[in-house]
Amino acid sequence: MALPVMNTAKYEMELPSTGDKIEYRPFLVKEEKVLLQAMEGGDEKEIMRGLKQVISQCVLTKDYKIDRSPVFDLEYIFLKLRSKAVGEKTTLAMKHLGDCGGVTNVEFDISAVEVVKSENHKDLIKLSDEVTVRMKYPSVDIMGSFKSDIDGVFDMMRSSIHEIYFKEELFSVEDHSKQEIDDFLNSLNSDQFAKLRDFFETMPKVKHDIKWVCEKCGEEVVQTVEGVSSFFGSA
């Protein structure tokens, strides 16, 4: 006679990037092991690879495309998985920045963490009176291969341009070659290029302000924690 297999609850959430609803289940022990192994090394790429593996197994919506999702969607999904699997409370070792340097263990509610969008963030960017660009969020795969040199910046921008409007015409980048898009980017002046870079610098982020009292000096501190790996261990 076979051993029993535990039934797992199902939940629903909205994706921050699109508002689309997806169904998911909490991660199980076998998936938690994958996460722990990824986080032990502290390598961001390994952590993201572990997150992708776990999320792909726990999201039950069949048409959800994990490889096309922006990083902040994946981080948000993971926090929801974690809160349902382990509990909504977690403890961080918070370090008081500055001269004090004291470390205090602070408990906070993971379910309160949200994706925060900058007020001046927009996907429709006007470059001139005649040219407007509609951007899309870089996928987790694009971010995973990102290099901070000029070629990496160009690759990121090229992959994140969705449409280009010139006067009354609409150009979809899917209908144009890599070289044509590079020629467009190379034709921009510094101010126009900076407007496109601002799209990435103001992208939504998983972050949360944590208020706590330093056990060493007694000062009340408000510290912003962002990025999924920052919500576990120390900050």
**Amino acid found at 133:** V
Cβ density class 27-46: b for 16+ within 10 Å, e for less: beeebbebbeebbeeeeeee
Q: For position 142, what pLDDT does the model report?
A: 79
Phi (first) and psi of residue 2, to 5 degrees:
-70, 150
For 167-226, how does the pLDDT look when each residue is reduced to its tens digit (9 = 90+)? Answer: 889 999 889 999 999 999 999 999 999 999 999 999 999 999 999 999 999 999 999 888
Domains and CATH numbers, the chain: 1-87 (3.30.2220), 124-201 (no CATH)
Give the C-alpha separation, 231 to 51, whole Å.
Answer: 14
Predicted pLDDT at 161: 95
Q: Which two tokens stand for residue 20?
A: 């689309």
- Rounded to whole angstroms, the Cα distance separating 68 from 138 reads 8
89/6 Cα distance (integer angstroms): 24
- pLDDT for 38 equals 78
The stretches in the chain having pLDDT less than 70 are 4-6, 42, 146, 232-235
Is the full-model pTM beyond 0.95? Answer: no
Q: CA quadruple 187, 192, 194, 195: dihedral positive or negative? A: negative
Quote the pLDDT of residue 8: 81
Beta 161-166 vs 124-126: how paired, if at all? Answer: unpaired
